[in-house]
Amino acid sequence: MGEKGLLLVISGPSGTGKGTVVRALQRANSSLRLSISATTRLPRDGEVDGVDYYFMERDIFKKMIEEGQLLEWAKVYGNYYGTPSHFVRDALERGNDIILEIDIQGALQVKEKLPEAVLVFIAPPSKTELQTRLLGRKSDSREEIEKRLKCMTGEMKLAGGYDYIVVNDSINRALDNIHAIIMAEKCRTWRQQSIIEQLSQPGS
């Protein structure tokens, strides 16, 4: 059997650059597949069902929770978000590498269920810079931005449960660090059993 795929979980405070990082990772490495989350939030302009999210009513989302169809789920800023389990598990079994871009509560649930998942916390270089980025993105009201900045303090306290922390100061430096993490994780001894077996055969 081939090696299992790598499950890379990218998370961190809102506005820290997770989406920017994930899009750039996908451009640089076309074999990384992004899991599409389920959500009860309404689509924003331009968002497409089945591409950006699986948009659904709350009762359907709750049914998915009850039926154990979600690898993790969380209520984030008033809406529910969750990762469909079957896509992730099937893809990993087939040897495909998967990225999840999810919130911190969800990331820690993934680590509990799949300890081999690699959790990367994207941190902002400073609180002021985070505020500048949230304002610059123009996607949230002042009130919403204040809420997200307040959440950041508590979220930083959970960063200790992650495998890696990458500070997104310059996007290129952050991407270099994540590529280094992916390369190192691919070289983990437990992922290299086939080469050990192959080269430890007498006479081979």
By CB under 6 A, name the binding residues for ligand ADP. 14-20, 133, 136-137, 168, 170-171
Query: Distance from CA of residue 143 to its chain's centroid?
Result: 26
Contact 136, 53 (CB under 8 A): no
Toward ligand ADP, which CB reaches closer, 64 or 174? 174
The contact pattern for ligand 5GP, residues 63-92, with x = CB under 6 A and - = no contact, is: ---------x-x-x----xxx---------
Sign of the Cα torsion 131, 135, 139, 145 reads positive
Binders in 39-68 for ligand 5GP, by CB under 6 A: 41
Q: Does 15 bind ligand 5GP (CB under 6 A)?
A: no
Q: What is the dihedral of CA 122, 174, 23, 140, to 10 degrees?
A: 50
Q: Which amino acid, 122?
A: I
Toward ligand 5GP, which CB reaches closer, 146 or 197? 146
Contact 151, 40 (CB under 8 A): no
Distance of closest approach, residue 182 Cβ to ligand 5GP, in angstroms: 19
Task: Determine if residue 72 is left, alpha or beta; phi over 0 gives left, psi from -120 to 50 gives alpha, anything else beta.
Answer: beta
Toward ligand ADP, which CB reaches closer, 37 or 168? 168
Toward ligand ADP, which CB reaches closer, 44 or 57? 44
According to CB under 6 A, which one of 5, 15, 17, 106 is a site residue for ligand 5GP? 106
Q: What gap in Å lies between CA 58 and CA 198, rounded to an integer?
A: 51
Distance of closest approach, residue 38 Cβ to ligand 5GP, in angstroms: 7
Please choose, out of 100-108, 123-131, 144-152, 168-176, the segment that lies near ligand 5GP by the rule CB under 6 A.
100-108
Toward ligand ADP, which CB reaches closer, 132 or 192? 132
Query: Comparing C-alpha atoms, which of 17, 34, 31, 30 is closest to residue 173?
Result: 17
Distance of closest approach, residue 133 Cβ to ligand ADP, in angstroms: 3
Query: Distance from CA of residue 33 to its chain's centroid?
Result: 11
